[in-house]
């Protein structure tokens, strides 16, 4: 049981650490950056970081994953706690990856909207 707690704690830490990774994205430009690029990049990254509804979606996916994992763990092996932890990690990590990609997309589209030639 003690090992399960530490594994879960490490997994939740990983999910939390990934949450802002997309907002910190620095895209590749086609050409030389303009003088306004750095200020625009920082503004676009802040815009992506401030999308708090994404954090709520990740929490919801974690909770749903925990519920589904508990039910499946109990039905399969009688280990509801282990199933809940596995489900929470699976739901949380999948959502964190999706949120990171969405935040990265916000940075890219924001910079394009400000006239920068972003290629990826």
What total number of domains does the chain contain?
1
What is the model's pLDDT at position 3? 47
- Does residue 28 belong to any structural domain of this protein? yes
pLDDT for the residue numbered 94: 74
Instruction: Tell me whether residue 17 is in a domain.
Output: yes
119, part of any domain:
no
Question: Which residues of the chain fall below pLDDT 50?
Answer: 1-3, 5-7
Does the residue 67 lie in any domain? Answer: yes
107's tokens = 């940075």
> What pLDDT is attached to residue 58?
67
pLDDT given at position 1: 47
Please work out, in degrees rounded to the nearest 5, the angle formed at the alpha carbon of residue 119 by the alpha carbons of 115 and 120. Answer: 115
pLDDT, residue 15, reads 54
Rounded CA separation 9/3 (Å): 10
What's the rounded Cα separation, in Å, for the pair 48 and 21?
A: 10
Domain assignment present for 118: no
């Amino acid at each position: 049981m003690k090992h399960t707690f530490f594994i879960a704690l490490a997994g939740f830490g990983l999910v939390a650490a990934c949450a802002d990774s997309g907002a910190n994205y620095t895209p590749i430009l086609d050409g030389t950056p303009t003088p306004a690029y750095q200020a625009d990049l920082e503004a676009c990254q802040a815009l992506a970081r401030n999308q708090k509804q994404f954090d709520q979606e990740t929490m919801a996916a974690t909770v749903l994953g925990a519920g589904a994992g508990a039910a499946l763990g109990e039905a399969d092996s009688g280990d509801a706690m282990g199933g809940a932890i596995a489900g929470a990690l699976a739901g949380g990590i999948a959502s964190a990856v999706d949120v990171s990609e969405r935040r990265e997309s916000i940075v890219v589209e924001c910079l394009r909207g400000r006239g920068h030639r972003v290629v990826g």
